[in-house]
Amino acid sequence: MRYQFLHIGKTGGTLVRRVLRSLPEEHRARFHILGHVSFPRAIEARPEMPVFFCVRRPETLFVSAFNSRLRAGQPTYNRPWTWRERVAFSNFKTPNELAESLSAGKPELKASAEQAMGQINHVRQGLRWYLRNVEFLERHRNDIAFVMLQEQLEQDLHAFATWLDVPLELAQVPPTERFHESLPEDETVLSDAGLANIKRWYRPHREIYEWCVEFHDRMLHKG
């Protein structure tokens, strides 16, 4: 059986893609690697091919997405800002500044923050864009081969590979290319107010994340 990997932005998918692509052909051929497309689109296009993907806590996904786009994807990529992102980053210089402004007392600042949440790539999409909602996931749980958690990505990738009898030790991925992470100069801390705002904003995404964690835990226990 072949499996398709769905790359959800800012969840560690760059590492997974590089590992899969560096496998010998006989093993690499078992995987179809998708870009940033949605789960509904993936199973509609290839219903015979189960999907696997990584998820991440919405709060840390937000911080990672903000900082990555602030750097225009560098150093891993070089993807210039859209004009909408240029507007957003002219108003908000750190993820916490944006997060806190979602509950600003000044209506114009709050409105600007809400607009920025829809202007920044990956901040805008999140888990809901890719996976729709819990009800959709439950209806299509048989189309999901495995869910990996970004918080323990390498461990989960090895568990999935072991289940499929894929020798990851044959993957040739240089250590310097293994992670698409934050940089030392990135601002990564959210204040209590900022964190509370982000949790409210991403509440539907959090429900999806929790469903995926439960699915992940059941799969590992089953294995």
pLDDT tens column, 213-223: 999 999 988 65
Among 213, 161, 125, residue whose Cα is nearest residue 16: 161
Q: Which H or E element spans position 55?
A: strand 51-55
C-alpha 145/C-alpha 177 separation (Å) is: 26
The label of the residue with tokens 């090895």 reads 158
Question: What digits encode the pLDDT tens for the residues 94-130?
Answer: 999 999 999 999 999 999 999 999 999 999 999 999 9
Regions in the chain scoring below 50 on pLDDT = 175-180
- CB-CB contact of 202 with 59 (8 Å): yes
pLDDT recorded at residue 173: 63
Q: Is 33 helix (H, G, I), strand (E, B) or coil?
A: strand
The two structure tokens encoding residue 99: 């997060």
Question: What digits encode the pLDDT tens for the residues 8-20?
Answer: 999 999 999 999 9
Residues 6+ apart with CB under 8 A from 129: 38
The number of CA neighbours under 13 Å toward the Cβ of 143 is: 20
Query: Which domains, and CATH codes, for the chain?
Result: 3-222 (3.40.50.300)
pLDDT recorded at residue 177: 46
Q: List 54's β-bridge partners, or say none.
A: 148
pLDDT recorded at residue 223: 53
The label of the residue with tokens 């402004």 reads 101
Quote the radius of gyration of the chain (alpha carbons, Å).
Answer: 18
C-alpha 36/C-alpha 59 separation (Å) is: 20
The per-residue b/e assignment along 9-48, b for 16 or more CB within 10 angstroms, e otherwise, is bbbbbbbbbbbbeebeeebbeebbbbeeebbeebbeebee
The two structure tokens encoding residue 170: 């044959």
C-alpha 93/C-alpha 25 separation (Å) is: 44
